[in-house]
Amino acid sequence: MMQSGLSNLKVHSKLWLSFVLVALVSLLLGILGIFNIMRLQDIDNELYQYQTLPLLELRVINGCFEQNRAYIRDLIIESDPEKILFYIHRMEENSKKIDYSLHIFSQSLRTTSEKKSLPIFLILWRASTITEIRL
């Protein structure tokens, strides 16, 4: 009968061979793990830049919309011309903040659907600011 190559080796040699094989497998898994961690870090940075940071701009936009809504309410109630001018001035300031935040937010858009929706929103936004200032 033919004997295999491993059965001819001494126990000492078999242990060393096993150790080397385990070390090579561990090295391969370690290299693969480091590569995937670096790739994951790049994906995480992209997620933060394009998904999380724009939320701050949306928060500013939402806050300014809410303030303008309250100013419109106060314009309807108010009869003092100075206060009316004050509210209009504050609404104009908020509109500038919204325009700036929309510009920053538009740079984070990635999909074609998002890019198609933004011009429609901008048209509606600009139309509403003209209406608000005429009040």
Per-domain boundaries in the chain: 11-134
Digitized pLDDT (tens) for each residue of the chain, 135 residues in all: 445 666 777 888 888 989 999 999 999 999 999 999 999 999 999 889 888 888 999 999 999 999 999 999 999 998 999 999 999 999 999 999 999 999 898 888 888 888 888 888 888 877 776 554 444
DSSP the chain: -PPPTTTTS-HHHHHHHHHHHHHHHHHHHHHHHHHHHHHHHHHHHHHIIIIIHHHHHHHHHHHHHHHHHHHHHHHHH---HHHHHHHHHHHHHHHHHHHHHHHHHHTT--SHHHHHHHHHHHHHHHHHHHHHHH-
Cα–Cα distance for residue pair 107/120, rounded to 1 Å: 16
Cα–Cα distance for residue pair 115/113, rounded to 1 Å: 5
